[in-house]
Structure 1
Amino acid sequence: MIDPLYVVSGFGVGLLVGMTGVGGGSLMTPLLILVFGVHPATAVGTDLLYAAATKTAGTAAHGWARSIHWPAVIRLASGSIPASILTLVILWQLDLSGESSRSLVNLVLCFALLLTAVSLIFRKSIMQRYRRRLEQINPGTAARATVLVGVALGVLVSISSVGAGAVGVTALLLLYPQLPMTRIVASDIAHAVPLTLVAGIGHWATGAIDWHLMAVLLVGSLPGILIGSYCAHRVPETALRLVLATTLIVVAGNLASHELHSSSSNITAFARSTAH
């Protein structure tokens, strides 16, 4: 049975992704956790494969238009894929319990959401301050820095499913100032496909995937992305980014509050059990 609320949620997130190029994991994962009560590990795993499916279509379109800068994609992936695999192996070895896993995902997710919000709000000022300096770095240094950015994204995305959008775009803008924005966005989307696929398969191996939920979300999000892409040039980009960044900050605050409340409840319950 298809829940209309999931379809509407998928459509709304897809609309924002189509308009801004970011917001998929940044909104979908918290939405699943806070609104629908999905366990954070399951929300992350489901969102990763959901992102891999939606961004594959975007990569195909950009590839057809030859707007992808493949050297940057390969460098990012050479850092992010090994980092993702290593992160997942460490998580498996730690064998976190349900509550420990929930806390880890929520904390990393809060950090990733705030980092994404900062990238959205201060992107222009960051570019104005550092772009001229970075234009002077040699190609070899830029290539090594791209691999390191990939490592950071691999860790972030594997734990929280967030980071491959706004954060990746901002980093690429700084490292490749000669590329137009369309090629930067296309390259970021192309890199997100193998990263989210590898991380998603890793979560699938632990059973943290809700296939029915992912299918229902796709039913709503695919039309949303198409409509959002069509409307992207008709809505002020600055206003959209501010609204999205504000939303991410509020969501991060709610997640942090939810985690603190959960932790205090667990401490109270533990104290009561030891008293008896």
Structure 2
Amino acid sequence: MDAFELLVSVWSTDAVLLKLLLGSIFGLCLGLTGVGGGVLLIPMLQLFCGMSPVLAVGTASMISAMVKVNASFLHIRARNVSWKKIILLFIGAVPVTLLVTQVVVYFNAHPFYSEATETTIAWLVTIVMIGSLISVFSKYKSENVAISHHSEHKLNTKKAIVSGMFCGSILGSTGVGGGVLLLPILNSVLHVDIKKAIGSSVVLALFLSAIAAVGYASGGQSDIDTAILFFVGSFVGVPVAAHLMKHMSESHIYVVTMLVISVSLFSYIIL
């Protein structure tokens, strides 16, 4: 497919303007809170685009990877990235993400296990979203009790790698992993301050989402046209988020993050 055919295919996609709008909302939330991939996209894709759970996960992974290129650049330029901890998480996450993605695609394609696979993925997404909301809320409460001095904590290499493996398994199977998993782990477990945790989660999720996207696309579980429309729409939201973040305190960012996760969780439950 050449560039012209791709453009025609994208423009002929159903609900073009709606998908562009949803993409801009996604970009705003991603840039502002680090939350976006599975938490926002999967409910959007299932609720507004009528996708099955596995197709939504595959498409969400593709959109996340595309959008996070722009968001990652903005966070790197703003120096909101903790590179040492990203590398350790990356080492643990990559092989697990590759393995889990292929397992999900295989069982979803199997006539006998297809329905059970989609049900399992839906439950996993819900559980991860609830756990992440609790984690962010707990950290928010602790930040209001006392100021946390993250720099005093020594980097635990083993803990970082194991945390990466855990994130890889969840992201590979559910598409959820950026803001709702990597953000709490970087902030609460590895003691990175909230702004750097957000930037670091976006950069790391870029690579992991790309790996998952390739795996799902190879199994036919992704909608490229929809992904492109969401990506284009995100160019409106991400720069606005970067501007707003400069004027927000850590407390405000926690509140917005919890609000985004809560709304997404509610939307997913009512699907």
Matching residue within 161, 165, 169 for 1:151: 165
- 2:261 equivalent to 1:248: no
Shift of 1:234: 5.2
CA root-mean-square deviation: 2.8
Please tell me whether residue 60 in structure 1 is matched to residue 76 in structure 2.
Answer: no
Query: Residue 251 of structure 1: CA displacement?
Result: 2.5
For 1:246 and 1:183, the matched residues in 2 are separated by 22
Cα-to-partner distance string for 1:128-183 (whole Å, 9 max, x where unaligned): 899989988753xx111111111111111111111221321221123443x44333
CA distance in 1, matches of 2:132, 2:42: 14
The higher radius of gyration belongs to 1
When residues 132 and 182 of structure 1 are mapped into structure 2, their CA distance, relative to the original with a 3 A threshold, is: closer
Deviation larger for 210-219 or 181-190: 181-190
Distance 1:174 1:66 in 2: 20
- Answer yes or no: is the 8 Å Cα contact 2:98–2:211 preserved in 1: yes
What's 1:73 paired with? 86
- Displacement of 1:39 after TM fit? 1.6
The amino acid of 2:173's aligned partner reads: I
* CA distance 1:14–1:134, shift in 2 (3 Å): closer
Is there any run of 5+ residues in structure 2 with no aligned partner, and where? 1-11
Q: CA deviation at 1:67?
A: 4.1
Is the alpha carbon distance of 1:39 and 1:199 closer, same or farther for their aligned partners in structure 2, counting shifts above 3 Å?
same
Map Cα deviations across residues 174-213 of structure 1 (whole Å, 9 max, x no partner). 3443x44333222222211111111110101101111111
Residue aligning to 1:265: none
Q: Is the 8 A contact 1:116 1:163 kept in 2?
A: no
Aligned equivalent of 1:184, options 197, 200, 206? 197
CA distance in 2 between partners of 1:246 and 1:30 (Å): 12
Aligned partner letter, 2:169? V
Q: For 1:252 and 1:219, how far apart are their aligned partners in 2?
A: 24
Cα pair distance change 1:18/1:67, threshold 3 Å: closer
Alpha-carbon distance in structure 1 between the residues aligned to 2:99 and 2:145:
34
Query: Once the 2 structures are TM-superposed, how far is the Cα of residue 85 of structure 1 from its aligned partner?
Result: 1.3
Q: Aligned partners of 2:79, 2:44: CA distance in 1, in Å?
A: 34
1:127, distance to aligned residue in structure 2 (A): 5.9
Indicate if the aligned counterparts of 1:48 and 1:197 stay in contact, CA closer than 8 A.
yes
Equivalent residue for 2:239? 226
CA distance in 1 between counterparts of 2:196 and 2:148 reads 19
TM-score (norm 2): 0.81
Scaled by the length of structure 1, the TM-score of the pair is 0.80
CA distance in 2 between partners of 1:77 and 1:135 (Å): 21
Query: Counterpart of 2:8?
Result: none
The superposition leaves residues 6-44 of structure 1 with CA deviations (integer Å, 9 ceiling, x where unpaired) of: 111111222222222213321111111123211221111
**Aligned residues: percent identity?**
21
- 1:106 pairs with 2:148: no
User: For structure 1, which runs of at least 5 residues remain unmatched after alignment?
Assistant: 256-276
Tell whether the 8 Å contact from 1:47 to 1:161 is kept in structure 2 after alignment.
yes
Q: Which residue of 1 is the match for residue 59 of structure 2?
A: 46
